[in-house]
Structure formats: C-alpha cells, structure tokens
Amino acid sequence: EVQLVDSGGGLVQPGGSLRLSCAASGFTFSTYDMNWVRQAPGKGLEWVSCITSSGSTVYYADSVKGRFTISRDNAKNSLYLQMNSLRDGDTAVYYCVAQRGTYSWFDPWGQGTLVTVSS
Amino acid sequence: EILMTQSPATLSVSPGERATLSCRASQSVTSSLAWYQQKPGQAPRLLIYGASTRATGIPARFSGSGSGTEFTLTISSLQSEDFAVYYCQQYDNWPPLTFGGGTKVEIK
C-alpha cells in the first residue's frame, strides 16, 4: 500500500522550533520529488516547500524562506521539515506530498500533522 | 506567481444533480492542472491531472476539461460522498506551486 505518514507536530511558542517527519512506504521514494503543503484552520491549501528526488535542489515559498529547511533521507524513505522562528501565522496542518516529477501533480498525500504556534 | 481563482466559493446542489466547478489561471498553465477533493478532517485526494485524466480509482462521474487559463470540473450526478471541498492546482510554472481558494459543494 502506498502510504505517507506525517509526524512531529505539536504546540510551540512563537520564535520556537519544530521538526516534522514523513515516512514513506509502498513506492520508490527515491524517484519522487517531495513537498510540504500546509492548511491553516478553515483555510485553503498553501504550498510550502519542495525537494527534488536526489535532494540536490530545494524550493521554498516566500512566506517560509530563511526559516524552514526541507531535507530527505532516501535510505530511510523519509522527508523532513525543520521549522525555526515560528510565527502565529505558521499554525496549520502540514501535509507531506509526493510528486512524480518537476512538472507533475501531487499524489499521494500524508494524513497531516498539526502545528500550533501560540504562547 | 500564477494566481488560481475558483468559482463559485460555495455550490449548493441536490443529490443526483450535475455540479460544474470553475478554475481560472492568471496566465496560461497549458494542461498542467490538477483537481483535488477534500472531506472534513481528511487530506486532499487527487481526482484529475493533466486537466482531464482521472486518477486511479476515481469514478467516471468526475470529469475535467479545459486548457490554457480556463478549466472545469464536472460531477455528472452528485452522490452523498461527493459533498466536499474541491481545489484546483497548477504545476506548469513554479515556484511557487499554487492552488485555487476552493469550492465547497454542499447539499441543497
């Protein structure tokens, strides 16, 4: 079964840090570009970051550039998102999402992990 | 950045009726357009990619059309499980990858 399992969310104070993880199974993880997409409570979907299959190239939304770092470990079939200098506006469910190639759609999606930034 | 605009924001439809959802791109995205369905408390699910190709396991009542800047998702006969929020996404020109604001299909 193709599956992405997100973890690592929780409550953190403004200015704090959190590391999200995503475990992949059921497909050849190392051949997929991987993304993080977030959804603030009651809002729409916002793309956050992408890392290419080899890990050689990364992209970020302007809203998180300089604060978030995406990485992957193909040997462990895992994706990560290191989030620093967190703000109230970063509160959202974060989804790990696979992308077959650079100009491709998103499938599958993880179940999401909730990050709440609040004092 | 390519802006994706979905309309209407909310669509009230009776079960068995046809639903037509629209998505407009601020510039051409050729056919690099996907549709996703999201139910409350769940992750989005891929419905359509390449503007008109159904993803694996998606019922034939879902169809996509369009190219360039104008796209449509049609649900031919709404079933109870189809009431959800639908998002379009372009993957032609990025970063950033962009989504529409969503259309909520609710029971009339």
Residue A77 in tokens: 């079939």
- The region of weakest confidence among A79-83, A98-102, A105-109, B51-55 is A98-102
* Mean pLDDT, chain A, whole residue set: 97
Cβ separation of B97 and A35 shorter than 8 Å? Answer: yes
Residue B79 in this model has a pLDDT that exceeds 90: yes
Contact A44 B44 (CB under 8 A): no
Average pLDDT for residues A33-52, to the nearest whole number? Answer: 98
The CA distance from A62 to the nearest CA of chain B, in Å, is 8
Paired sense of beta strands B98-99 and A113-117, if any: unpaired
pLDDT band, residue A102 (cuts 50/70/90): confident
Q: What is the pLDDT of residue B13?
A: 95
- Mean pLDDT over residues B79-93, rounded? 96
DSSP chain B: ---EEEE-SEEEE-TTS-EEEEEEESS--TT-EEEEEE-TTS--EEEEETTTEEPTT--TTEEEEEETTEEEEEESS--GGG-SEEEEEE-SS-SSPEE---EEEEE-
Which amino acid, A63?
Answer: S
pLDDT at A15: 98
> How large is the average pLDDT for residues B6-19?
96
pLDDT exceeds cutoff 90 at A58: yes
Q: Which chain B residue has the Cα nearest residue A103?
A: B91
Least Cα separation, residue B14 to chain A (angstroms)? 24
Give the pLDDT of residue A37.
98
Percent of chain B whose predicted confidence (pLDDT) is above 90 = 98
The verdict on B97 touching A (C-beta cutoff 8 Å) is: yes
pLDDT in tens, B31-74: 999 999 999 999 999 999 999 999 999 999 999 999 999 999 99
- pLDDT of A110 reads 98
The average confidence (pLDDT) of chain B is 97
Residue A45: its pLDDT value, please? 98
The answer on pLDDT for A101 being more than 90 is: no
pLDDT of residue A105: 96
